[in-house]
Chain A
Amino acid sequence: MALLELDNVTKIFGGLVAVDSLSISIEKGMIYGIIGPNGAGKTTVFNCITGVYKPEKGKIIFKGKDITGLSPHRIANMGITRTFQTIRLFNEMSVAENIMSGRHFKSRQKWWHGIMHTPFYYKDEKENWLKVKEYMDLFGLTHLAKMTAGSQPYGIQRKIEMARALATEPELLILDEPAAGLNDKERLELVDTIKKIRDMGVTILLIEHNMDLVMNITEYISVLNFGKKIAEGKPEEIQNNPVVIEAYLGKEEEDE
């Protein structure tokens, strides 16, 4: 059984069909890529999966359960977390506090611990801060723990966002253009990080414009154009698919 399955998902904005009967199936443990030209509806697909948008038609099945139309926090708590194309951190807060937000659901504190601290509170608080430290060590952010997240350079902010998403201990991690705005060195680091995350047993779904990165890292790709899936397959198959070259790669070559 696939970990995540989209069955004829359709999302319409006014008269515009942003996603048109899209069906994809993601197996556990793989790195799955969605590519396509600008405006092809890739981010809309992500927003449908994470509950930010409710699709008009179709079903989204995660681990055999129908999650279509659930609120984002419930979907997150079932094991799907994401990063954003435009980084969305809690800018005024410290790096450690940002990653701690990912521990929200795993932390077992109840509402009354916000009023009264019990021995359980101290145990739980320490456990989760130590988890935060683990993720900071993993991403090499420990020396920045107390620094304000918003004042960090772009590459670091991307890492913080991934650490935060990973701190929720998801089964499926969704990355929306993780390489956008990164330089070559940072991009190489990113490839390592993504592989490291996959080796931790997390399935990864990503949108990416950088072709080198997509071809290098993903195991399976779906290509979208105008909300429709026009091709799918292994990276090497996609690279040689004439439909894809026409819709996407061909255009880019003309530009250059």
Chain B
Amino acid sequence: MNTKNILSYGVFFAILIILPFFLNSDWVSVMTTFLIYSVVSLSQDIVLGRAGMFDMGHAIFFGLGAYSTAILNMVYGWPILATVPIAIILPIIASILLAAPIIHLRGDYLLVTTIGFNIVFTQALKNNVFGITGGPNGIFGVEPLKILGFTFSSQLSIYYLAFFILLLTLVVIHNLETSKPGRALHYLNLDSLASECIGINTRFYRLYAFGLSAALAGLAGVVFTLQFSAVSPDAFNFIQSVLFFTIVLVGGPSSIPGVLLGTFFMFVVPEMFRQFAEARYLVFGVAMILIMIWRPKGIWPVKFGRIPNYLTKE
């Protein structure tokens, strides 16, 4: 990371830290959801942008995390903190079980299969499987998170919790993209056969991408449950998956600033124009089309060439 990058991330974080003091509580709530959706979109980007797999069922892993926390807390009485490991591990297991049989499928087939999984997932939640998901209305009244006697009950505290999770996600993704596994994802995405022939186990790294992205989405799900003290099936349906998918493509696949901008554009901007009701979506749809025509690689396209400086110096 060069000085310019460090500086721009510094400014970005500083803005996020002081932002709540200039906003009313409604907007702090919108921005909290923005932070959560950023984490989900960044995790979607691992599978879609980096590994290049068309996963349109990412809301499943987000939802599994959210529901794990809600169910363990409300049905089994676990404290929220204790539910966090489960809300991460369960989506990982689910993602690997779902992806393993279909991972060899080409883009379009994988896309349709993951949509199918997402529909099955929402239907299961709506039909109150095992009598624990609360049916179409979901689960209400989830307790707030308590850590060392501090209760995350105010909107402001949840905002900073979401901010912390975003920071954590950014660290993980930075580590990913500067490591052997992260590069392997790009290689297998750009040319799967060439990757295999220089010794990359493409199947393993495809599953790796699914597992890691499901873990982050599950963690985001926990914060989502805390934000609304509730979960419902419609927050994790196929349309939500489409949103995360679109955010990555509009923002810029494999590009961290791109995905953050994409989330802002696709989620916060529509909130700003709430007074125009449904009409805003018309402008919004047209804007999406224009971005894809003019900037097919996203608003902020990825830049490769992340190599250490000592390589170019004599």
- List chain A positions with a Cβ less than 8 A from chain B: 50-52, 71-73, 76-77, 81-82, 84, 88-94, 96-97, 100-102, 104-105, 107, 109, 111, 113-117, 121, 125-126, 129-130, 132-133, 136, 142, 145-148, 164-165, 168
Interface residues of B in 290-313 (CB under 8 A from A): 304-308, 310-312
Chain A residues whose CB sits within 8 angstroms of the CB of B176 once the complex forms? 114-115
Q: Which residue of A lies closest to B307 (CB)?
A: A96
Which residues of A lie under 8 Å from residue B305 when comparing CB positions?
93-94, 96-97, 146-148
B residues bordering A, Cβ < 8 Å? 172, 175-176, 178-184, 186-187, 190-191, 193-202, 208, 212, 304-308, 310-312
Most buried by B among A81, A90, A126, A148: A90
**Do the beta carbons of A129 and B190 come within 8 Å of each other?**
no
Which of A88, A126, A147 makes the CB contact (< 8 A) with B193?
A: A88
Given contacts A90-B190, A94-B304, A129-B310, A115 and B197 within 8 Å (CB-CB): no
Specify which of A81, A105, A114 is in contact with B181 (CB 8 Å cutoff): A114
CB distance from A57 to the nearest CB of B (A): 23
Contact B304–A148 (Cβ < 8 Å): yes
18 pairs from A and B in contact (CB 8 Å cutoff): A52-B196, A72-B193, A76-B197, A90-B190, A93-B190, A94-B307, A96-B307, A97-B183, A97-B186, A97-B304, A97-B307, A100-B307, A107-B180, A109-B179, A114-B182, A136-B311, A142-B312, A146-B307
Q: Which 4 A-B pairs have the closest CB atoms?
A: A114-B181, A76-B199, A72-B196, A94-B305
Contacting pair A133 B194 (CB below 8 A): no
CB-nearest residue of chain A relative to B301?
A92
Contacts of A104 in B (CB 8 A): 180, 183-184, 187, 198-200
B175 proximity list for chain A (CB < 8 A): 113-117
A125 touches B179 (CB 8 A): yes
Q: Is A73 a contact partner of B179 (Cβ separation < 8 A)?
A: no
Residues A101 and B200 in contact, CB atoms below 8 Å apart: yes
By beta carbon, the residue of chain A nearest B306 is A97
CB pair A145–B198 under 8 Å, yes or no, is no
Interface centre among A51, A72, A88, A164 (most CB of B within 10 A): A72
The one of B172, B193, B212, B307 in contact with A145, judged by C-beta atoms closer than 8 angstroms, is B307
* Cβ-defined contact, B191 with A73, below 8 A: no
- Please name the residue on chain B nearest to A116 by beta carbon: B175
Check B190 against A73 for contact (C-beta < 8 Å). Answer: no
16 new A-B contacts, CB < 8 A, other than A111-B208, A114-B175, are A52-B193, A52-B197, A72-B193, A88-B191, A88-B193, A90-B190, A94-B304, A97-B183, A97-B305, A104-B180, A113-B179, A113-B180, A115-B175, A129-B307, A132-B311, A142-B312
Chain A residue nearest to B176 in the complex (CB)? A114
The answer for the CA separation of A75 and B180 in the assembled complex, in Å, is 20
Please state if A82 and B195 are interface contacts (CB–CB under 8 Å). no
Across-interface contacts of B202 in A (CB, < 8 A): 73
Asked whether A91 lies within 8 Å of B193 as measured between CB atoms, the reply is no
Name the residue on A nearest B190 (C-beta): A90
- Neighbouring B residues of A50 by C-beta, 8 Å: 197
Q: Which residue of B lies closest to A121 (CB)?
A: B179
Inside 8 A of A97's CB, which chain B residues have their CB?
183, 186, 304-307
* CB of A76 to closest CB in B, whole Å: 4
**B198 close to A76 (CB less than 8 A):** yes
| Smallest CB separation, B170 vs chain A (Å) | 12
Q: Which residues of A contact B198 (CB under 8 A)?
A: 76, 81, 101-102, 104-105, 164-165, 168
Q: How far is the CA of A108 from the CA of B310 in the complex (A)?
A: 21
Chain B's closest residue to A126 (CB) is B308
CB distance from B203 to the nearest CB of A (A): 8
Known: A92-B304, A96-B307, A136-B311. A77 touches B199 (CB 8 A): yes
Expressed in whole angstroms, the Cα–Cα distance for A94 and B190 within the complex equals 13
A129 to B305, CA, bound (A): 13
**B307–A81 CB distance below 8 A:** no
Out of B179, B186, B193, B308, which one reaches A93, CB within 8 Å?
A: B186
Q: Which of B172, B181, B191, B307 has the most chain A CB atoms closer than 10 A to its own CB?
A: B307
Q: Does A96 lie within 8 Å of B187, measured CB to CB? A: no
Smallest Cβ distance from B124 to chain A, in angstroms? Answer: 30
Which residues on the B side are within 8 Å of A132 (C-beta)?
Answer: 311
User: Bound state CA distance, A54 and B172, in angstroms?
Assistant: 39
Decide if A93 touches B311 in the complex (CB within 8 Å).
Answer: no
Contact of B197 among A82, A107, A136, A142 (CB under 8 A): A82
Smallest Cβ distance from A70 to chain B, in angstroms?
11
